[in-house]
């Protein structure tokens, strides 16, 4: 299992593409594994990645609560 925690920038100047960079890298890595024969293409088609990008306002209360 892989857990990735990706936040988002709430500023008006934030790029809509910056949140997708991690997912683009993952797609390239999976495609590379298929090209090398290390992963079946059908497994990539079945791959499900739930996505939710919390804002700093959602995360900071949790960080403060646990004292990190």
pLDDT digits (tens, 9 = 90+) for 14-68: 566 666 777 888 899 999 999 999 999 999 999 888 877 777 888 889 888 888 6
Kindly tell me the sign of the dihedral angle through the C-alpha atoms of 51, 57, 58, 62. positive
Q: Which two tokens stand for residue 25?
A: 């890298």
Alpha-carbon gap, residue 53 to 60, rounded angstroms: 14
pLDDT on residue 29? 94
pTM metric for this prediction: 0.56
Contacts 24+ apart (CB under 8 A), 14-22: 19/53
Q: 58, 5 in Cβ contact below 8 A?
A: no
d(CA 8, CA 11): 9
pLDDT at 9 over 80: no
pLDDT at residue number 34? 96
Q: What is the pLDDT of residue 44?
A: 92
């Amino acid at each position: 299992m892989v857990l990735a925690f990706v936040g988002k920038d709430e500023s008006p100047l934030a790029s809509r593409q910056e949140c997708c960079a991690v997912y683009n890298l993952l797609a390239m890595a999976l495609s590379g594994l298929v090209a090398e024969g290390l992963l079946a293409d059908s497994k990539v088609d079945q791959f499900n990645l739930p996505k939710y990008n919390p804002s700093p306002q959602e995360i900071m209360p949790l960080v403060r609560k646990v004292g990190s």
